[in-house]
Amino acid sequence: MKADLVLLPGDGVGPEVLRESRRVLERIGEIRGHDFALREALIGGVAIQATGAPLPPETVRACQEADAILLGAVGDPSYDGCEVRPEQGLLELRRRFGLFANLRPVRLLPETAELTPFRPEILAGVDILFVRELTGGIYFGPRQEQEDGYEAYDTMLYRVEEVERIAQVAFRAAKSRKGKITSVDKANVLASSRLWRRVVDEVAGAYPDVEVDHVLVDAFAMHVLRRPATFDVVLTGNMFGDILTDEASVLAGSLGMLPSASLGDATLGLYEPIHGSAPDIAGKGIANPIGTLLRDCHEITIPDQAMLWTV
């Protein structure tokens, strides 16, 4: 097996955790006879420092030529309030390569059980797959910065086709698991959530063997900590998914414990831990790299495309 992989260490603890991933990949290559061509490129704050852009053209070209992208972390508080910020590099990477499906599994490992504050009986049987829409919603909708210092806005915009394609991912995942989807929205307030709920129900018509439940995001935020083992596949939008998976990570120990995969219609995927750059502990050698090392496998068929996730 030969694979061209682009490594994007990024900021903060990103280089530290990705360094461990590189060691593991190199060792796997030795043992299994795989040929991993590993190439590093810039993203985030370090890219801004070197090139003035959070996602330089050189990085884009490297990703276009790769079979997969491995990311460490992006984020640097020194850019807070600046027009150009490290996080823009990651958002642009998702947009440019159409990585609309973010898969985040939540499981408690016996080796990290002592890190979680929850009682064992609450965590028994927890196995959740979050399916987060990644290239729409409030992160990508029309916005206005506070140019006059008095007004700014971000728009939560969703189109039917965006909801349909992420719902298809969730339903296909549910068919290979327990056959249950919890779709999380805020349909009692938001028009975009009412569209979301309607389209999810329409897609559900093609999957009569999958049970669908709609839960408001504020209620789900409570239920996922009180009875996490009752959830199987959780489908949600971009911002809600970002917040809820960070919350749910405490079930597995902490924010640094979970892996994620960002996938699209093509075969290229972006693989990363869900944690941020953690600048407060960067360089201290104490960042846990388990989120970059965990291995999980979900085979999900999107129209005309079979995706195999192994992270």
> Catalytic residues, which ones?
139, 186, 218, 242, 246
Task: Give the DSSP letter of residue 203.
Answer: H
Helix then strand then coil, in percent of the chain rounded to 5, is: 40, 25, 35
Residue 268 Cα distances to 33, 97, 98, 271, 299, angstroms = 22, 8, 9, 10, 14
Q: Token digits for 29? A: 């290559």
Residue 224 Cα distances to 92, 217, 246, angstroms = 31, 10, 12
Query: Maximum CA pair distance of the chain?
Result: 60
Q: For residue 146, report the phi and psi dihedrals to the nearest 5 degrees.
A: -80, 70
Cβ distance 94 to 238 under 8 Å? no
Residue 97 CA to residue 100 CA, distance in Å, equals 9
Q: Token digits for 243? A: 């917040």
Residue 17 Cα distances to 120, 269, 275, 305, angstroms = 29, 19, 11, 31
Angle at 138 between CA 236 and CA 56, to 5 degrees: 105
Residue 302 CA to residue 78 CA, distance in Å, equals 40
**Amino acid letter, 229:** A
- Other beta carbons less than 10 A from residue 183's beta carbon: 27
**Amino acid letter, 130:** F
Cβ distance 38 to 5 under 8 Å? yes
